[in-house]
Amino acid sequence: MGVRQSFHHPLSTPGTMARDEENEKLLHIVMFPWLAFGHMIPYLELAKLIAKKGHKISLVSTPRNINRLPKVPPNLTTLIKYVNLPLPQVDNLPENVEATTDVTYDVVQYLKKAYDLLQQPFAEFLESSNADWVLFDFTAFWVPSIASKLGIKTAFYSIFPAPVLAFFGPSLCLIGNDDRTQPQHFTVPPPWVPFPSTVAFRYFEIMRISDILSHNVSGFSDKYRLGTTIQNCDFVAVRGCTDFQPEWFQVLRNIYQKPVLPVGQLPTTGFAGGDDNDNDAWQWMKEWLDKQPRGKVVYVAFGSEAKPSQEEVREIALGLDKTELPFFWVLRVRRGTSDTEELRLPEGFEERTKERGVVWRSWAPQLKILGHESVGGFLTHSGWTSVVEAVEKEKALVLLTFLADQGLNARVIEEKKMGYSVPRNDLDGSFTSEAVAASVRLVMVEDEGRVYRENIKKMKDLFVNKERQERYVDELLSHLHSPTTQ
C-alpha cells in the first residue's frame, strides 16, 4: 500500500484551511456513484447529511449528469463539489449518453464499458484530491485497487437495501463459486438466509435481468463487479435501517465478515434552484389535483430505468380505465433519442378518460405529487427511492416490477404488508387490465385492502425519523474516524 501524498485541499478556501488545521477530524470524502439517477440521488442525499456536519464531499460523475443533478443547497456549496470526468466514447454508445435513463436496457452494457474507461482520470483526480475516503458504487469495482495505492480507504456504499445484497450472497459466490447456475435457482431464498423468507425473484423477474449473471460487452458481469467490490472494500455502507430489517443486516455481517453499517433510508430532501418551467408544470398539476376527490387519485410512475412493453402499457391503460378512479400517469414513451420504439396508448384512451385522468410524458415532481391530499395510492415499479417517498407521504403501494432489484424489493414490501403486487403470469410476467384494476381498487378503496393503507402509515417513523437518520450518519462518521479503519 502506498503512502498518500500531501496535497493542498482542492476545495478549500483560506478560511476552511485554517479550520482544517484546527480540527483534524474534518474529512474529505470522495463519492463515486454508478451512472443512474436511482444511484446518484441517494449518494447526493448522503453527501448533504455528511456535509451538514462540516465535512467536504467531492461527488464525481460525468458533465451531463452533473448538469441534470439538483443544485446543492446554498449553505452547503462550499462543502459539496461536483467533479466532472468526461465519459469516454465507445462503439455502440450513442452520443450524449451518460446515464441509464438515456438508453434502452440492452445498451446499458456499453455504458458500463465507457464507465470502466474512467479508471485513469479517476485515479488522476484521486491522486490530487487529498481524500480520506472513497465511497463508491459496485459498478466501479476497480476503485479499491486505485485507492489503496494512494493509501486511501474505501467503502462500498450500496443503494440496494440489505435484503437485496443478502440474497445475492457472499463475495466468493458472486465472483464464481455459486451453485446457483440457472435462473430458477434465483426463485428461492438462498441457504445462508437462516429464517423463513419469501425474498426471491419470480421466474420472469430473473429472466429479464439474466444478463447480470454473465459477462456482457464490458467483459464483467454485474455479479462479478459486486463480488469484487465487497471483497476489496474496507467496509460496506447500506441504504436502510436496522430498526426496519435487523435480521437482514445480520445476514450481511455473517456472510461478508466485515463491518456493515446502515446509513438510513435517506428520504429525498429539498434542493435549491428549480426550473421555472418545472414550477409552471407543477402549478398546472396542482390545480388539476386540487379538483380531484381526496385520497382517490392513483399516481402511476415506473422510475427512470424501466420501460414497459407496448402490451404492458396497453393493459395498464385499460386497467386504469376500469378502476373508475382518477389517475395521474407519468409515462416515458422513449428511453433516449436512440430509442426507436415509442410507446403508444390504446386508441381513444386519452379522449375517453380526459375528464378523470392525466398522462404526463416528461419529468414530474414525484414527491410533490405524492404529497398532495388527493393522491391515495401509488402504482410503482418498487424502486427503493420511490418506496421511501411513498412511505414518507403515507401512500399505499401497488407493485408492478420490471428490472434490477425491483422484484426483491417487492417481496419485502409484500411481507411487511405495505403493498400488493399485481397478479402476473410467473413465467412471462404478463398481466391483465382486470388484474391492474382489481389491485388498484383493493389497495386504495376496498375494506380488504385497509391493512396496506394502515401499515404504510405505521412505517413512516422508521423511514423518515430525523433523529434516527442523524444517528446513522453520526455512526458512519464515527466509523470513518475510527483508528481501526484508518
What pLDDT does residue 13 have?
41
For the residues 138-144, what does the mean pLDDT come to? 97
pLDDT by residue (tens digit) across 343-401? 888 898 888 888 899 999 888 889 999 999 999 999 999 999 999 999 999 999 999 99
Give pLDDT, residue 278. 62
Instruction: Return the pLDDT at 350.
Output: 86
Residue 466 CB burial class (10 angstroms; 0-12, 13-18, ≥19)? exposed
Chain centroid, CA 114 distance in Å? 21
Return d(Cα 297, Cα 327) in angstroms, integer: 5
> Which has the higher per-residue pLDDT, 259 or 345?
259
Task: Write the DSSP symbol of residue 206.
Answer: H
Look at residue 157 and tell me whether its pLDDT is greater than 50: yes
- What number of other Cβ atoms are within 10 A of residue 442's Cβ? 18
Cβ atoms of residues 189 and 167 within 8 Å:
yes
Cell (9 digits) for 347: 386508441
Residues 376, 350: contact at Cβ < 8 Å? no
- Asked whether the predicted pLDDT for residue 269 surpasses 90, the reply is no
Mean of the pLDDT values across residues 3-12?
37
Task: CATH 3.40.50.2000 in the chain: give the residue spans.
Answer: 14-269, 276-462
Over 70: is that where the pLDDT of 9 sits?
no
Cell numbers given for 62:
460525468
Position 114 pLDDT exceeds 70: yes
pLDDT tens-digit map of 40-66: 999 999 999 999 999 999 999 999 999
CATH architecture entry for 14-269: 3-Layer(aba) Sandwich (3.40)
Q: Is the pLDDT of residue 17 over 80?
A: no
Position 89 pLDDT exceeds 60: yes
How far apart are the C-alpha atoms of 332 and 308, rounded to whole Å?
Answer: 9
Amino acid at 295: G
Give phi and psi for 235, each to the nearest 5. Answer: -160, 170
Mean predicted lDDT score pLDDT of the chain: 89
Has residue 18 got a pLDDT over 70?
Answer: no
| pLDDT tens-digit readout, 211-248 | 777 778 888 989 999 999 999 999 999 999 998 999 99
Alpha helices in 302-400 (DSSP H): 310-323, 349-353, 366-370, 384-392
So what's the pLDDT on residue 104?
A: 84
Structure confidence by residue, pLDDT tens digits, 68-84? 998 899 999 999 999 99
Angle between helices 406-415 and 384-392 (to 10 degrees): 30
Give the pLDDT band of residue 67 (cuts 50, 70, 90).
very high
pLDDT grade, residue 16 (50/70/90)?
very low
| The pLDDT of residue 485 | 55
Across 174-182, average pLDDT:
83
pLDDT band at 270 (very low <50, low <70, confident <90, very high): low
Mean pLDDT of 317-340: 87
Confidence (pTM): 0.89
Look at the domain 276-462 and name its fold: Rossmann fold (3.40.50)
Q: What is the pLDDT of residue 103?
A: 87
The DSSP secondary-structure symbol of 28 reads E
164 in Cβ contact with 409 (< 8 Å): yes
The answer to whether residues 240 and 17 touch, using CB atoms and an 8 Å cutoff, is no
How does residue 342 score in pLDDT terms, banded at 50, 70 and 90?
confident
Q: What is the pLDDT at residue 176?
A: 81
Q: What is the pLDDT of residues 411-456, one digit of tens each?
A: 999 999 999 999 999 999 999 999 999 999 999 999 999 999 999 9
Distance separating alpha carbons of residues 107 and 125, to the nearest angstrom: 28
Mean pLDDT, rounded, for 124-129: 94
Q: Is the pLDDT of residue 12 over 50?
A: no
- Asked if pLDDT for residue 1 goes beyond 70, the answer is no
Q: What is the pLDDT, as a whole number, of residue 126?
A: 96
Cell 501524498 belongs to 5
